[in-house]
């Protein structure tokens, strides 16, 4: 039986879909705000989301999974303050908000592909659902949970018992003293949040509505879109832990206001990725992306493997040494897989059954990937080399998606003269510590279809 930890009830629960008859699971995942390149912290959360999908499928469920693209409304502070992240990025880069959205959407989708994060059944853009959001806001108002001020429409948190304490045990005094909430004398309660905002003249993104030219608050998009595609109550809602205290509390409040229901039965949250034991931040210049990892000659899938080294509900610490070790381990796992593929012996059927059970128990215990990976290793390390073990590894890799069948770095092949010349030039550049040149030559090799990996033995090439 699949057990999942629910932030709402603070316990692991047996999973049973609402639509048991058709075995379909409805999931909503908060997607990226496309104002910047997604970083590897974001990717930890989406690799988890993808793994959850694959665990559900492995258990025989069908999926109806919605992910959004936030291309409007997410302000620089989660609590209704600051500038719209999209507008700020557009202003800084002298582009339109739509160009910004397109550029960063394409960029994250490329990263998703490289990480074997498969497409969700629905991928929905906030700007395509403004009308749905407007209707949702009107419903909340009609039910008496929201009021109008000169700035827009606000959710009246005093109308909801337990506001802000559904998922997070938020202490209101603490929240308010944290100076996160702007003082606004028109608000009935300081923690009331914006649902629909009247656009000031200079505001770029705005839509004609029942209140004139307006734009939506950030939280309302997820409520409106999840309801549109999944109904008033669906099975699972996912996001990172930073969404618990504000975004998801507000999503719940909005849904109570509109439909009277908590919108999802299970709320799952991924702990943060840290860098060298601390926060990722622009000032520390450690906001790494998947491209940064590739520039070091490390495969994106080594990052996927690395994220499986900790349970999703614990912090994970990224260091360059750790990611390099992950690449080495993944290469070894693939090498062992290949040996089984070429093996002529018979595998032990009892052991295979046992391995399958252990794997299923691991993934079904709240997606315990460190334990699941340990099973892969035990199969890989079998002394008897057998195609049966290879087939087993391939089956288990449907969940882990590490391309265990992929060839490792090609070693003894003859490269074209042009490539050999670049490799020589790059070796000289690196010997002279001219890393700018070395990076430039890496890009040249990329154009020719090769990724270069720098190892102790020197440069190695891999076909892209």
Q: Which of 6, 7, 17, 33 binds ligand AMP (CB under 6 A)?
A: 33
Phi-psi label, residue 262: left if phi above 0, alpha if psi -120 to 50, beta otherwise? beta
Alpha-carbon gap, residue 400 to 293, rounded angstroms: 20
CB 5 within 8 A of CB 366: yes
Closest residue to ligand AMP in the complex (CB): 240
Q: Which of 6, 7, 42, 401 binds ligand AMP (CB under 6 A)?
A: 42
Q: Which of 25, 32, 175, 330 binds ligand AMP (CB under 6 A)?
A: 32
Alpha-carbon gap, residue 425 to 104, rounded angstroms: 34
CB 316 within 8 A of CB 44: yes
Q: Which of 44, 64, 65, 334 binds ligand AMP (CB under 6 A)?
A: 44
**Which distant-in-sequence residues (6+ apart) come within 8 Å of 395 by Cβ?**
356
At closest approach, how far in Å is the CB of 189 from ligand AMP? Answer: 26
Alpha-carbon gap, residue 240 to 29, rounded angstroms: 10
* Size of the residue set binding ligand AMP (CB under 6 A): 15
Q: One symbol per residue from 212 to 231: x for binding Zn ion (CB under 5 A), - otherwise; what is it? A: ----------x---------
Q: How many residues does the chain have?
A: 464
Alpha-carbon gap, residue 370 to 267, rounded angstroms: 22
Q: Which of 63, 100, 181, 270 binds ligand AMP (CB under 6 A)?
A: 270
Please tell me whether residue 72 binds ligand AMP under the rule CB under 6 A.
no
Q: Which lies closer to ligand AMP via its Cβ, residue 40 or residue 393?
A: 40
Cα-to-chain-centroid distance, residue 326: 20
Q: Which of 17, 240, 245, 347 binds ligand AMP (CB under 6 A)?
A: 240
The shares of helix, strand and coil residues in the chain, as percent rounded to the nearest 5, are 45, 20, 35
Partner from Zn ion, ligand AMP, none contacting 222, C-beta within 5 to 8 A by type? Zn ion
DSSP 165-203: -SSS---HHHHHHTT-S---TTSSSTT--EEEEEPPTT-
Q: Which of 4, 101, 222, 273 binds ligand AMP (CB under 6 A)?
A: 273
Please tell me whether residue 272 binds ligand AMP under the rule CB under 6 A.
yes
Q: Which lies closer to Zn ion via its Cβ, residue 69 or residue 298?
A: 69
Please tell me whether residue 280 binds ligand AMP under the rule CB under 6 A.
yes
CB 304 within 8 A of CB 298: no
- Among residue numbers 204 through 233, which ones bind ligand AMP (CB under 6 A)? none
At closest approach, how far in Å is the CB of 86 from ligand AMP? Answer: 11
CA distances from 351 to 170, 204, 375, 389 (A): 48, 62, 11, 10
Q: One symbol per residue from 16 to 45: x for binding Zn ion (CB under 5 A), - otherwise; what is it? A: --------------x---------------
Contact residues: ligand AMP, CB under 6 A: 30, 32-33, 41-42, 44-45, 239-240, 242-243, 270, 272-273, 280
Interface residues toward Zn ion, by CB under 5 A: 30, 222
């Amino acid at each position: 039986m699949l057990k999942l930890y629910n932030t709402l009830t603070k316990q692991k629960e047996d999973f049973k879909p609402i639509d048991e008859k058709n075995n379909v699971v409805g999931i909503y995942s908060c997607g990226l705000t496309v104002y910047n390149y997604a970083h590897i912290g974001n990717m930890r959360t989406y690799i988890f989301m993808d793994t959850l999908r694959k665990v559900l499928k492995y258990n025989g469920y069908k999926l109806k999974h919605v992910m959004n693209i936030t291309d409007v409304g997410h302000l620089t502070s989660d609590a209704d303050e600051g500038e719209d992240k999209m507008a700020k990025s557009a202003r800084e880069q002298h582009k339109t908000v739509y160009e910004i959205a397109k550029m960063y959407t394409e960029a994250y989708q490329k990263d998703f592909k490289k990480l074997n994060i498969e497409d969700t059944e629905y991928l929905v853009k906030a700007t395509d659902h403004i009308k749905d959001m407007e209707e949702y806001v009107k419903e909340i108002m009609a039910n008496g949970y929201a009021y109008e001020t000169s700035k827009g429409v606000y959710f009246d948190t005093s109308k909801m018992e337990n506001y802000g304490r559904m998922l997070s045990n938020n202490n209101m005094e603490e929240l308010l003293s944290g100076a996160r909430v702007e003082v606004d004398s028109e608000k009935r309660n300081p923690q009331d949040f914006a649902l629909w905002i009247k656009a000031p003249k200079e505001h770029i993104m705005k839509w004609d509505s029942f209140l004139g030219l307006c734009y939506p608050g950030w939280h309302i998009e997820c409520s409106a879109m999840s309801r549109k595609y999944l109904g008033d109550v669906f099975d699972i809602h996912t996001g990172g832990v930073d969404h618990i205290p504000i975004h998801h509390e507000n999503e719940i409040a909005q849904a109570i206001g509109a439909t009277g229901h908590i919108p999802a039965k299970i709320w799952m949250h991924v702990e943060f990725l840290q860098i060298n034991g601390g926060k990722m931040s622009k000032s520390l210049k450690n906001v790494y992306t998947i491209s940064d990892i590739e520039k070091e000659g490390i495969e994106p899938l080594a990052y996927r493997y690395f994220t499986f080294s900790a349970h999703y509900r614990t912090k994970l610490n990224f260091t360059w040494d750790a990611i390099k070790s992950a690449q080495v381990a993944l290469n070894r796992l693939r090498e062992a897989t290949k040996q089984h593929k070429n093996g002529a012996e018979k595998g032990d059927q009892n052991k295979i059954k046992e391995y399958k059970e252990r794997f299923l128990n691991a993934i079904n215990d709240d997606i315990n990937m460190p334990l699941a990976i340990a099973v892969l290793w035990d199969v890989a390390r079998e002394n008897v080399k057998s195609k049966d073990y290879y087939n087993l590894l391939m089956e288990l890799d449907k969940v882990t998606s590490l391309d265990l069948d992929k060839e490792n770095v090609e070693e003894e092949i003859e490269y074209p003269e042009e490539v050999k010349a670049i490799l020589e030039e790059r070796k000289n550049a690196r010997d002279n510590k001219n890393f700018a040149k070395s990076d430039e030559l890496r890009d040249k090799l990329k154009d020719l279809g090769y990724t270069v990996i720098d190892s102790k033995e020197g440069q190695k090439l891999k076909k892209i």
